[in-house]
Amino acid sequence: MSWMIFKRMLVSGGKNFIRGGAVSAATVLIMTVTLTVIGSLIFLSALLTFTLNTIKDKVDVSVYFVTTASESEILAVKNQIEKLAEVSSVTYTSATEALATFKNRHATDQLTLQALNELGENPLDASLAVRAKDPSEYESIVNFLEASPALSAGGTSIVDRINYLQNKEAIDRLTLAINATREIGFAVVILFALASILIAFATIRLAIYTAKDEIAVMRLVGASNIYVQGPFIVTGIITGIIASALVELALWPATWYAGFKTATWFGGFNLSEYYMSHFVLILVIIVGSGILLGAVASVIAIRRYLKA
């Protein structure tokens, strides 16, 4: 394709967009809404990921050992667990450390401390806090802990209890929340993308109908399909670019205003800082989505007309 033909397609595409007037403006508006939804879902996904990661850091499975288990035996179990691909981290807490933490937590509860002193010995067990890379993997980790022969010393199990069942409900809810968020977000994007394509499709079809005599003449003189399609594809792309620009212009003040509130409400997640640190990625997604939606709608519209 020569530069002259390409230039003519650009000029014709721009003229088609201007001729559209209110219809072109309506297309830009609905596409702006769609791209705003896409942008909002990017931020929502980042916020949920931050929140879910925070929750993940607080959810674990604790393995408590009998008081007769030696530290070397417990550390041997710790080394085995750390080798599992599903495990993110394993933290060892000795019985002495557990007792010190308990006393600090109940420093103002004299009755509890007095009862503890009357026992004359440490009633707390040493433990391992196991964190998985993904909440759905805790069950396989617990199965390993229950089946591993390394958990036995002299034929007797050194594990007192595992608190997986107590945390299972919280873990299941966390996993469900992650999956549901991804699925709902994807469905919303698809819904609005289809709406944008349909609106842009109607706009392009109207522009094609207006220029049907011109298109008929071009086809009679042997113009290629690319030459006929080009201006309308350019029109769709212009629509997407303008909508993308409007969204980007609105994002900076919106994220700046919301940034301080999200940092307060969601434990440190600042929307404005996230936007600035991911500006290039968000720009590419928004502009790319706008161009893709406009181009796809135009291609579908003009192809249906050429086949008619």
Q: What is the pLDDT of residues 99-158, one digit of tens each?
A: 888 778 777 777 776 776 777 677 788 888 888 887 778 888 888 877 765 555 556 778
Output the average pLDDT for the chain.
77
C-alpha pair distances (Å), 117 with each of 62, 84, 182: 26, 40, 51
The residue ranking higher by pLDDT, 272 or 213, is 272
Three-state DSSP class for residue 3: helix
pLDDT of residue 304: 61
Span 67-157 CATH architecture: 2-Layer Sandwich (3.30)
48: pLDDT confidence band, cut at 50, 70 and 90? confident
Report d(CA 70, CA 123) in Å as an integer.
Answer: 15
Three-state DSSP class for residue 62: strand
Three-state DSSP class for residue 107: coil
The stretch 262-279 carries a mean pLDDT of 77
The stretch 244-257 carries a mean pLDDT of 87
Question: Please, where in the chain does CATH 3.30.70.3040 lie?
Answer: 67-157
pLDDT of residue 42: 83
| DSSP for residue 84 | S
pLDDT of residue 245: 92
The stretch 240-263 carries a mean pLDDT of 83
Taken in order 123, 126, 131, 132, is the CA torsion positive or negative? negative
Report d(CA 24, CA 188) in Å as an integer.
Answer: 24
pLDDT of residue 273: 84
* Predicted confidence (pLDDT) at residue 80 exceeds the cutoff of 60: yes
* Predicted confidence (pLDDT) at residue 43 exceeds the cutoff of 80: yes
C-alpha pair distances (Å), 206 with each of 21, 176, 195, 231, 251: 12, 45, 17, 14, 32
pLDDT of residue 196: 67
The stretch 185-193 carries a mean pLDDT of 75
Q: Of all residues in the chain, what percent carry a pLDDT higher than 70?
A: 77
The stretch 11-35 carries a mean pLDDT of 78
Report d(CA 200, CA 35) in Å as an integer.
Answer: 14
Q: Is the pTM of the predicted complex or chain greater than 0.95?
A: no
Report d(CA 12, CA 149) in Å as an integer.
Answer: 76
The residue ranking higher by pLDDT, 151 or 182, is 182
Report d(CA 23, CA 25) in Å as an integer.
Answer: 5
The residue ranking higher by pLDDT, 190 or 166, is 190
* Predicted confidence (pLDDT) at residue 252 exceeds the cutoff of 60: yes
Report d(CA 280, CA 223) in Å as an integer.
Answer: 39
* Predicted confidence (pLDDT) at residue 197 exceeds the cutoff of 80: no
Q: Which residue has the tokens 């396989």?
A: 140
* Predicted confidence (pLDDT) at residue 260 exceeds the cutoff of 60: yes
The residue ranking higher by pLDDT, 151 or 266, is 266
